[in-house]
Chain A
Amino acid sequence: MFRLARNRLSTAAVLGAAIFMIIQVFCDLQLPTITSDMINRGVAIGNTAYIWRSGSLMLLLAFIGVLAAAGNVFFASTQAQQLGAKLRAELFRKVLYFGNFEMDHLGSSSLITRTTNDVLQIQNVTVMILRMMIQAPIMLVGAGIMAFISERKLTVVFLVSIPVLMIAIVSIMYFAVPLFKSLQKRIDGINLVFREGLTGVRVIRAFRQDHFEQERFKNVNRAYTQTAVKAFSLVSLMFPVMILILNMTNIGIIWIGGKLIATSRMEVGNLVSFMTYAAMILFSFMMLSMIFVFIPRAQAAAVRINEVLDTDFSITEIADPEKLPVQKSHTLEFKKVAFRYDHAENQALQDVNFHLRSGQTLAILGGTGSGKSTLVNLLPRLYDLETGQILLDGKEIAKCSQRDLRNAISFVQQKAVLFKGTVRSNLQVGKVTATDQEMWHALEIAQAKDFVKETQKGLDAVVEQNGANFSGGQKQRLAIARALIKPAAVYVFDDSFSALDFKTDAQLRQAMKTDPQTQKSIVIIVAQRIATVTQADQILVLDAGRVVGLGTHQQLKAGNQTYQEIMRSQLREEEL
């Protein structure tokens, strides 16, 4: 938490917040003293002028106090929000430049939470710190000093009341904190069962298990309620107990104070001011105890944020990267490529070799977990190799600038991701300068022209967040169009056709084959369906990270066991 704040908060501003707070507390502290002065020197001897003078002074101090408080609030809110904005921007930048290694490790949904909720959490706690946490100790010390100065002998009451207060707070917390922790678990339980009731409604009804579901929910609901009653009952103690202690302290002050006054060891006006200081001291203790509740929560958020900021980039650029030459025809070569996921026991890919040139199509086939996606992810350097080389146009990709490399590769993921905006803005991601004509052409090849036309706005049709207004297949086709519009040396389709039905899949591949742009380039298709791959120039068959076959459909069909197995699982005997 403090490490996060150290370099990102302006020291001057924090000092400013502290100074204003000191002024504010100072003013607050003066009021009782002036009151007691007023009583001792004004009221007791009937000096009206003195009373007026102290009154004006008090007013002035109150006014300075509110100005100082405003100053403190200003610094606290700007600093806290600035810290939030800085953290958010840093996290966002860091994550954008992460490789897939880091993304896998931290998980994108967790990263979203860290960048949004965790930062908010820090922001809120920072405001509290800059106000309460500065205020509590200053007030504690200030009121302590003032109390001590005004009546040293009366401070004995604190010898009793502060320990009692501490014991009360600590013992309530001791029981309450674990209860609240288990309460959190219980509420998670309620959420879980309720959510499962939503996601599984069809299964629940189909198996006529409504009753069981209700029973399940009743149990978690009851468990939560029981814990909640316990926890909140305990908390009910907190406030009355604290007030009681404060009030009893006042009684003590009057009793002891009376005795002191009786023996002329104290002035009567100090009694009133001392009670105010006592209230302030006990109040600061309560504030401090609240802080101990909030800090651990913020601490957890801070740890999660730091973890992201401290993560090293797995993919780095060499000092003096080579330029990829601009050329008309291209080659791509994998040489003894091997890859291993972080700390994995087995290699995810081993000894992958192939060579492709412009106009050729490579299809990659294999079951889940066989390494197909991993293989294509190596190409735009989403991961780095363990050993071996990948050469694009004869240059080793690890030695090229990442920007150049990714400019040369157009990549479609398994799961289509569209951005909020319009069809046009999404296609512009592929090529900023694309003309309408180029866009329609790309949509046509991607078999997306018809449904884009059907929306009355055509290219300006709205794309909602996550492309929610399009079906899975439509999203995938738009993503394919976005990739096709980008002029690239290599087009990679990472299982992008599975979301399409047979017919669309076939039409798309046909259209790509006749397109002059893709004809000049290298095309890599990762697929699950045999039908998708049969026409490729080369088919690479993967099994558990190993290349078990490389050849054409005819060759593999004749002599490759894994290929035959996959064929058998998808087609009937007579179709083989």
Chain B
Amino acid sequence: MPQHGPARNIGKTVDKPKNFWQTAWRLCKYMAPWKWFLALVFIFAIGSVIFQIISPKVLGEATTEIFNGVVKYQRLQPAKRTGALPIDFDKIKVILLTVGGMYLVSALLGFFQQLIMANISQKIVFKLRADLKDKMQRLPINYYDTHSNGDIMSRAVNDMDNIAGTLQQSLTQMVTSIVTFVGVLIMMFTISWQLTLIACITVPLGILVVALIAPRSQKYFAKQQQSLGLLNDQVEENFAGHTVVKTFNKEEESLEKFNEQNELYYKSSWKAQFISGLIMPVMNFVKNLGYVFVAVVGGIKVAHGNLSLGDVQAFLQYVNQFTQPITQIANIANTIQATVASAERIFQVLDEEEMQKTHVAIPDKAETEYKIEFEDAAFGYDSKQPVLKNLNLAVTTGEKIAIVGPTGAGKTTLVNLLERFYDIQGGTLRLAGRDTRNLSREAVRSHFAMVLQDTWLFTGTIYDNIKYGRETAREKEVLQAAKAAHADSFIRQLPQGYQTILNEEASNISQGQRQLLTIARAFLADPEILILDEATSSVDTRTEILIQKAMAKLLKGRTSFIVAHRLSTIRDADKIIVMNHGAIIEAGNHAALLAKKGFYADLYNSQFTTSA
């Protein structure tokens, strides 16, 4: 539940925003559509607090009435002290009803204020989330490749959470804390300025306490966070590498290292917790200090008839309310800082450069026999390291191109260029005679479909996943595609058939079956050009045969680029592109490349040096 102790994170370290005011202002702009509601929220909050502050004083009047009755009674002659005390209950009734009304109004205002704020904050975060998702669509693939998923997810999840929480609570808390502090101060002054001065001693004391404790606890929290990170690293490493630890007999050694780190963590963590845990009781003590002095001095004043008892009672209640805002404000300041840092991380993504519409002054070739044509193409992921230089490759309709090379040779680079995930930087890449940069990305991609080894399917039904290939497809076509991909029979064997929901961990169908679904998806897309990534392993023999059959069927009559692992595919290809160290180093057909006695020849022959 969202109510936390006021000292929850005073002593914790928080991320500091680089540009506080600018980011805060930008976050405020998100609230603009609700500014009138926000104004209402603040009015309600202030109103609620004011009623809360005034009511003790009014309630005190009731006590005073009673006390007056008692005093009057005691001043009477003992002989006349019979029957009830002369207390004016009519007056008390009026007072209590007034106070009751005030309490009710205060509660209502408080409730509506929180209600509106909960609505607004959720809607703001809704918008922020939608904006982020929208932005993700317009970011170049380069952004995805250079930022880890974990990092982006943490912005989309944790940072959003922080913002929602702060908007909902801390903002109004900040207002109410300040109003409470000022209001209480004023009320105390109206009762007695001497007592107020006494109570005020607690303020510098309270600030001193926070100022003394917070930095210390921050230091230990930082240490604790650091050693927790290292500890978690060790857990992860040893559990993931469990077999290695075991087969190399390293259990004791790992344990020793772990215990060392665990001890370090313990040493800083208990101190961090202890010191930050002290804030509350010490602040409480400061409060009690004020309380006692007020009680004593106030008592003496009442005894001398300078003050009413009800005023003392009200004053004591104010003293209790007085120190709380200090802790709360310190706490909220920290929270707000962390929130602005979160907002900054989200805005950072929103400010990233988007994909631009491109145009190059390269004229179309009116009539060309080539479906795809690289002409002196150049490309590099960063400007210093060109991956491709002077690539020339012309592919006619229906040709089969094999891409080969060792792992990590950058075979995906070619896929990236063809699908226009990245743009070439020099020369030209033509699709049916037009430079692809003069076409929209969607237009380029409408000519392609791809089947990758990374069998990405989304969490949803099998049917919807196949339909993903072409949104407008009819049911009959979806089923046909599944049949063509040899996926129909296994799908029908599943209890829910086509309505089976694929889960995220992909535990309900096998890897090979997923591959078949991606093939079905490509069938449905019915592209002119196909990009295929041959599976290397992890598929059982029977499914493997199905996949090969399906792929062969899919390839028929289409221009295709195949990231090839099988010799048969390579040798059957019309052209072979050889990649190494992220660059295309050779291109040509099998015979030509063999004759060249270059890298390809080497690669090809190595296959047979030991298996002859």
A10 within 8 A of B: no
Question: Can you identify 7 A-B contacts, CB atoms within 8 angstroms?
Answer: A58-B291, A214-B134, A238-B3, A417-B244, A420-B233, A501-B405, A528-B536
A572 touches B571 (CB 8 A): yes
Pick the residue among B251, B265, B602 that contacts A503 (CB under 8 A).
B602
B407 touches A471 (CB 8 A): yes
B299 touches A62 (CB 8 A): no
A96 touches B245 (CB 8 A): yes
Contacts of B136 in A (CB 8 A): 197-198, 201
Distance between Cα atoms of A127 and B270 in the complex (Å): 10
Given known A-B contacts A65-B288, A205-B445, A535-B611, A382 and B243 have beta carbons under 8 A apart? yes
User: Of A152-160, A244-252, A350-358, A438-446, which stretch is located at the interface?
Assistant: A244-252
Given known A-B contacts A66-B284, A472-B407, A506-B610, A73 and B277 have beta carbons under 8 A apart? yes
A148 within 8 A of B: no
Contacts of A572 in B (CB 8 A): 567-568, 571
Distance between Cα atoms of A473 and B407 in the complex (Å): 7
B85 within 8 A of A: yes
B537 touches A498 (CB 8 A): yes
Distance between Cα atoms of A100 and B239 in the complex (Å): 11
B1 within 8 A of A: yes
Given known A-B contacts A55-B295, A225-B123, A498 and B536 have beta carbons under 8 A apart? yes
Distance between Cα atoms of A466 and B96 in the complex (Å): 69
Given known A-B contacts A209-B471, A258-B87, A198 and B285 have beta carbons under 8 A apart? no
Pick the residue among B270, B303, B449, B611 that contacts A530 (CB under 8 A).
B611
Instruction: Give residues of chain A (58-76) contacting chain B, Cβ–Cβ below 8 Å.
Output: 58-59, 62-63, 65-66, 69-70, 73-74, 76
Pick the residue among A112, A263, A534 that contacts B610 (CB under 8 A).
A534
Pick the residue among B48, B63, B121 that contacts A271 (CB under 8 A).
B63
Distance between Cα atoms of A73 and B7 in the complex (Å): 14
User: Of B330-338, B367-375, B540-548, which stretch is located at the interface?
Assistant: B540-548
B389 within 8 A of A: no
Measured CB to CB, the nearest residue on chain B to A293 is B1
Distance between Cα atoms of A201 and B146 in the complex (Å): 13
B449 touches A66 (CB 8 A): no
Pick the residue among A69, A208, A262, A501 that contacts B442 (CB under 8 A).
A208
Instruction: Give residues of chain A (25-69) contacting chain B, Cβ–Cβ below 8 Å.
Output: 31, 35, 38-39, 42-48, 51-52, 54-55, 58-59, 62-63, 65-66, 69
Distance between Cα atoms of A192 and B536 in the complex (Å): 28
Instruction: Give residues of chain B (302-348) contacting chain A, Cβ–Cβ below 8 Å.
Output: 302-304, 309, 312-313, 316
B449 touches A100 (CB 8 A): no
Instruction: Give residues of chain A (229-282) contacting chain B, Cβ–Cβ below 8 Å.
Output: 229, 232-233, 235-241, 243-244, 247-248, 250-251, 254-255, 257-259, 261-264, 268, 271-272
Distance between Cα atoms of A59 and B258 in the complex (Å): 47
User: Of A82-90, A319-327, A335-343, which stretch is located at the interface?
Assistant: A82-90
A433 within 8 A of B: no
How many Å from the CB of A52 to the closest CB on chain B?
7
Chain B interface residue count, CB cutoff 8 Å, equals 159
Pick the residue among B48, B63, B106, B231 that contacts A88 (CB under 8 A).
B231
B485 within 8 A of A: no
User: Of A138-146, A386-394, A405-413, which stretch is located at the interface?
Assistant: A405-413
Grouping DSSP codes into helix (H, G, I), strand (E, B) and loop, the B interface class, with mixed when no group exceeds half, is helix
A268 touches B239 (CB 8 A): no
A7 within 8 A of B: no
A403 within 8 A of B: yes
Instruction: Give residues of chain B (116-149) contacting chain A, Cβ–Cβ below 8 Å.
Output: 117-119, 121-123, 125-126, 129-130, 133-134, 136-137, 141, 144, 149
Distance between Cα atoms of A426 and B460 in the complex (Å): 43
B103 within 8 A of A: yes
User: Of A298-306, A515-523, A563-571, which stretch is located at the interface?
Assistant: A563-571
Grouping DSSP codes into helix (H, G, I), strand (E, B) and loop, the A interface class, with mixed when no group exceeds half, is helix
Pick the residue among A262, A504, A570 that contacts B85 (CB under 8 A).
A262
A interface residue count range (under 10 / 10 to 19 / 20 to 34 / 35 or more): 35 or more
Pick the residue among A205, A272, A506 that contacts B607 (CB under 8 A).
A506
User: How many residue pairs, one in A and one in B, have C-beta atoms under 8 Å apart?
Assistant: 437
Contacts of A191 in B (CB 8 A): 153, 156-157
Interface centre among B121, B164, B242, B471 (most CB of A within 10 A): B242
A367 touches B544 (CB 8 A): yes
B239 touches A411 (CB 8 A): no
Distance between Cα atoms of A95 and B245 in the complex (Å): 11
A263 touches B84 (CB 8 A): yes
Distance between Cα atoms of A73 and B265 in the complex (Å): 18
How many Å from the CB of A309 to the closest CB on chain B?
15
Distance between Cα atoms of A369 and B510 in the complex (Å): 11
B182 within 8 A of A: no
Distance between Cα atoms of A429 and B2 in the complex (Å): 48
A472 touches B408 (CB 8 A): yes
A98 touches B242 (CB 8 A): yes
B250 within 8 A of A: yes
Contacts of A31 in B (CB 8 A): 288, 291
Measured CB to CB, the nearest residue on chain A to B611 is A534
A268 touches B541 (CB 8 A): no
B296 within 8 A of A: yes
Distance between Cα atoms of A367 and B537 in the complex (Å): 9
A103 within 8 A of B: yes
B107 within 8 A of A: yes
Pick the residue among A108, A261, A501 that contacts B66 (CB under 8 A).
A261
Contacts of A116 in B (CB 8 A): 231-232, 235
How many Å from the CB of A178 to the closest CB on chain B?
14
How many Å from the CB of B232 to the closest CB on chain A?
5
Contacts of B117 in A (CB 8 A): 236
Distance between Cα atoms of A111 and B237 in the complex (Å): 12
B251 touches A221 (CB 8 A): no
B87 touches A272 (CB 8 A): no
A200 touches B1 (CB 8 A): no
Distance between Cα atoms of A58 and B299 in the complex (Å): 13
A368 within 8 A of B: yes
How many Å from the CB of A90 to the closest CB on chain B?
11
How many Å from the CB of B612 to the closest CB on chain A?
8
How many Å from the CB of B476 to the closest CB on chain A?
20
Given known A-B contacts A93-B255, A199-B456, A411-B247, A194 and B237 have beta carbons under 8 A apart? no
How many Å from the CB of A17 to the closest CB on chain B?
12
What does the 1/0 interface line of A89-126 toward B look like (CB < 8 Å)?
10011011110100100001001100110000000000
Distance between Cα atoms of A274 and B26 in the complex (Å): 50
A501 touches B406 (CB 8 A): yes
A111 touches B239 (CB 8 A): yes
Given known A-B contacts A66-B281, A203-B450, A208-B446, A78 and B130 have beta carbons under 8 A apart? no
B456 touches A81 (CB 8 A): no
Q: A369-B540, A370-B540 are known; give 15 further A-B pairs, CB within 8 A.
A: A38-B299, A46-B303, A58-B291, A59-B292, A187-B157, A197-B133, A232-B121, A233-B118, A236-B118, A254-B92, A368-B538, A382-B247, A417-B244, A504-B406, A569-B544
A185 within 8 A of B: no
Given known A-B contacts A192-B504, A241-B107, A407-B249, A200 and B115 have beta carbons under 8 A apart? no
Distance between Cα atoms of A51 and B298 in the complex (Å): 10
